[in-house]
């Protein structure tokens, strides 16, 4: 019997490498509509055709280098956190082209910073105190799992259409037990990373764009986070733990009571 063996391709495989994420048929998801975009990634509203439910798909704009590792870490960390106050991840994988993505629940609503801005009186802002308490409960759970968010701010607290309060955007989250590589914590070049929120395109599409513009994150050396809510040790580029999140919760509480953030700064140096 004659057997024909196809020659092995010698062409380099330049697809993004993410060995912990399996390949997924992109036909599983349809009706993609971009709802948010930042300096490193984007979120699109889509339909999971297998289960017939809406989802939000997050992917990288340029899946290369350290960004790929951070994105994979975000997907795996968020998938581990099972709490009503944290948006659940349904699936994480790679498209046939190799680009990584993860699918999460599509939460419609408004970010807390917008809700605070719409509150005209102290009494209206005080009525939002349960939102801070709910966010603190979700963060306490994350801490019990040894996860630190590292970018808590009102723009990353979403008030859902059913009254739920959820903490979103775990892109800078850190697993205290896993450690972080010097490459992921200390990018060689100055970069800006914008928060990307899973917000309903019809209910809050304009707000989403405004939130992204306001939430520019400065990354210089090991300084990662949003300056106005950043703990001093985080601003100095020192290692952080759960206390950095506690400080950020206090800063959000100040913002809620005073109507303005505790710091008017755009960089960690100014803080």
Domain housing 123 = 109-258
**CB neighbour class for 24 (10 Å; exposed up to 12, middle 13-18, buried from 19):** middle
Range from 39-53, 61-75, 146-160 that averages highest in pLDDT: 146-160
* Residue 191: per-residue pLDDT: 34
pLDDT value of position 110:
94
Six-digit token string for 255: 């913002």
Q: Do 77 and 159 share a structural domain?
A: no
The answer on 141 and 98 residing in a single domain is: no
Phi, psi of 67 (to 5 degrees): -60, -35
Residues 55 and 131 in one domain: no
Residue 202 lies in a domain: yes
26, 137, 151, 245: which one is catalytic? 151
In a domain, 12, yes or no: no
Looking at the fold, whether 238 and 137 belong to one and the same domain comes out as yes
Q: Which of 16-30, 49-63, 85-99, 130-144 has the highest mean pLDDT?
A: 130-144
Whether 138 has a pLDDT exceeding 90, the answer reads yes
Across 139-149, average pLDDT: 97
Q: Give yes or no: residues 210 and 249 share one domain.
A: yes
- Evaluate whether residue 131 is within a structural domain: yes
Count of domains for the chain: 2
| Band (88; pLDDT cuts 50, 70, 90) | very high
Same domain, 123 and 89: no
Report the C-alpha gap between 147 and 150 in whole angstroms.
9
Given a cut of 70, whether residue 51 has pLDDT beyond it is yes
Whether residues 78 and 125 fall in one domain: no
Tell me, yes or no, whether 203 and 158 share the same domain: yes
Same domain, 253 and 132: yes
More confident residue, 192 or 156: 156
6 within a domain of the structure (yes/no): no
186 and 241, same domain (yes or no): yes
Fill in the DSSP letter of residue 233. H
| Residue 3: inside a domain | no
Q: Which two tokens stand for residue 208?
A: 């989403």
pLDDT at residue 268 in the model:
63
Higher per-residue pLDDT: 180 or 23:
23
Mean of the per-residue pLDDT values of the chain: 79
Taking residues 179-186, report their average pLDDT. 47
Q: Is the pLDDT of residue 217 over 70?
A: no
Q: Say if residue 143's pLDDT is above 80.
A: yes
Claim to verify: residue 117 and residue 247 sit in the same structural domain: yes
Separation between Cα atoms, residue 68 and residue 54, nearest integer Å: 25
| Strands of 18-108, DSSP E | 29-37, 41-48, 53-60, 89-94, 100-105
- Asked whether residue 195 is domain-assigned, the answer is yes
Last residue of a domain, one of 54, 82, 105: 105
What band does 37 get if pLDDT is binned at 50, 70 and 90?
confident
**Distance (Å, whole) CA 177 – CA 80:** 14
> What 3-state DSSP class applies to 235?
helix
Residue 265 has pLDDT above 60, yes or no: yes
Output the domain CATH number for residue 40: 3.30.200.20
Across the range 188-209, mean pLDDT stands at 35
Residue 31 pLDDT class (50, 70, 90 cuts) = confident
pLDDT of residue 19: 55
Mean pLDDT over 255-260 rounds to 95
To the query of whether residue 48 is one of the catalytic residues in this protein, the response is no
pLDDT score of 225? 77
Of 7-16, 117-126, 208-217, 234-243, least confident by mean pLDDT is 208-217
Q: Which of 105, 140, 166 is the last residue of a domain?
A: 105
Domain boundary among 105, 123, 144: 105
Any domain includes 269: no
Are 36 and 120 in the same domain?
no
pLDDT in tens, 94-136: 988 888 999 999 998 999 999 999 999 999 999 999 999 999 9
Q: Are 111 and 207 in contact (CB under 8 A)?
A: yes
The CATH number for 208's domain is 1.10.510.10
Residue 165 lies in a domain: yes
- pTM of model > 0.85: no
The predicted model gives 221-233 an average pLDDT of 78
Residue-level pLDDT at 62 = 81
CA–CA distance, 30 with 45 (Å, rounded to integer): 9
């Amino acid at each position: 019997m004659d057997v024909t063996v196809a020659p092995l391709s010698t062409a380099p495989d330049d697809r993004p490498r993410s060995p912990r994420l399996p390949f997924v048929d992109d036909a599983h998801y349809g009706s993609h509509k971009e709802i948010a975009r930042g300096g490193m990634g984007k979120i699109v509203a889509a339909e999971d055709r297998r289960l017939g439910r809406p989802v939000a798909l997050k992917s990288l704009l340029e899946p290369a280098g350290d960004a790929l590792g951070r994105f994979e870490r975000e997907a795996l960390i968020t998938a581990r956190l099972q709490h009503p106050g944290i948006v659940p991840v349904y699936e994480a994988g790679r498209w046939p082209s190799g680009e990584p993505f993860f699918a999460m629940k599509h939460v419609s609503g408004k970010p807390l910073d917008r809700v605070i801005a719409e509150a005209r009186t102290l009494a209206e802002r005080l009525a939002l105190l349960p939102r801070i308490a709910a966010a603190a409960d979700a963060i306490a759970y994350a801490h019990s799992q040894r996860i630190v968010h590292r970018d808590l701010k009102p723009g990353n607290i979403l008030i859902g259409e059913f009254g739920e309060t959820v903490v979103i955007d775990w892109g800078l989250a850190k697993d205290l037990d896993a450690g972080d590589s010097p490459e992921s914590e200390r990018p060689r070049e100055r970069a800006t990373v914008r928060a990307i929120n899973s917000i309903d395109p019809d209910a809050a599409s304009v707000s989403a764009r405004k939130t992204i513009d306001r939430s520019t994150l400065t990354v210089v050396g090991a300084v990662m986070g949003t300056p106005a809510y950043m703990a001093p040790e985080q601003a100095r580029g020192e290692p952080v733990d759960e206390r950095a999140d506690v400080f950020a919760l206090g800063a959000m509480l100040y913002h809620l009571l005073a109507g303005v953030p505790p710091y008017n700064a755009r960089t960690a140096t100014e803080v």
